Amino acid sequence: MSKPPDLVQGTLDLLLLKILALEPLHGWAISQRLKQVSGDELQVSDGSLYPALHKLELAGWITAEWKISDLGRRAKFYSLTRAGRRYLDQETAHWQRLTSAISRVLALKEI
């Protein structure tokens, strides 16, 4: 069984922004959502999640707010800012261009 590949540099940011684009979430919920949507293909350790979230927050792409979670405990909820949404669109387009280019190269038939 091969190890799941590491996330390509910067793609974690993209995933996090995308997840938060759907709805504001706290850290644990984000980690659950990540596992849910990517299956076991993409493995993000919880240890990398938080530094990545804090980096996005410092960049101003997402913003955080302490709210009471559904379990009655205080939790830090992250949500996308307007600048973050535009950044996400831009990065998504960039990502698609990149992957389609790579796919085209990989689709070349050997003679």
Partner 1 sequence: MGWRRWLYAIPVRLKALVRRRHVEQDLDDELAFHVAMQTRANARDGMSDAEASRRARMEIGGIEQVKERSRDVLPLRWARDAMRDVGYSLRSLRKSPRFTIAAVLTVVLGVGANATLFSVLNPLLFKPLPYPEPERIVTVFRTSPQSDRWPHSMANYVDHRARNTVFEQLSAVNAEHVSFADPGQPAERLFALRTSGNFFAVFGVAPFMGRAFTDADDQTGAEPVVVLSYGFWQRRFNGDASVIGRSMRLDGGHATVIGVMPRDFEYPLFWGPIDLWRPFAASAELLRDRGNHFLREFGRLEPGVTPAEADAAMKALDRQLAAENTNLDGRGSIRIAGLTIVDPVMRRISTFAFGLTFLVLLIACVNLANLQLARTAVRAREFAIRGAIGGDKGRLLRQSLTDSLVVSIVGGAIAIPLSFWCTRLIASRQFANLPDVRVVLEPATLAFAFACAVLTGLIFGAVPAWLASRADINDVLKQNPKSMTAGRGPQRFRQGLIVAEIAFALIILAGAVSLVRGLQRIVAIDPGWRAEGVLAARLNLVGPDYAQAAQRRTFFETLSNRVADIPGISSAAVSSSSVPARPFDTSMALAVEGRSDPIVAFNERATPDYFATLRIPLRRGRLFTPDDRFGRTPVMVINETMARALWPGENPIGKRIGNRGPNPNWREIVGVVGDITFPSFGASWRVDIEFQTYQPLAQTGTAFVNVLVRTDREPDAIASELRRVVSAIDRDLPVYDLVTARAAEERQTASLRLLANVLGAFAVLGLVLAAIGIFGVVSFSTAQRAGELGMRMALGARQSVVLWLVLEQGVRLIILGVLAGLAGGLVLGRVLSSMMPNLPAPELGIMLSAYTFMVSVALAAFFIPAWKASKTNPMLVLRHE
Please report, as ranges, the residues that interact with partner 1 according to CB under 8 A.
Answer: 26-28, 31-32, 45-48, 50-51, 54-55, 57-63, 66, 69, 71, 73-76, 81-84, 86-87
User: Which residue in 79, 90, 105 sits closest to 27, CA to CA?
Assistant: 79
For partner 1, the closer CB: 11 or 27: 27
Work out the end-to-end distance of the chain between its first and last CA atoms, rounded to an integer number of angstroms. 31
CB-wise, 38 or 69, nearer to partner 1? 69
- C-alpha–C-alpha distance, residues 25 and 27, integer Å: 7
Q: How far is the CB of 56 from partner 1 (least distance, A)?
A: 9
Alpha carbon of residue 43 to chain centroid: 12
- Local structure of residue 56 (DSSP, 8 states): H
* Cβ at position 97, least distance to partner 1 in Å: 19
Rounded to a whole number of angstroms, the minimum distance from the CB of residue 107 to partner 1 is 34
CA distance 82 to 101: 29
Residue (58 or 106) nearer to partner 1, CB: 58
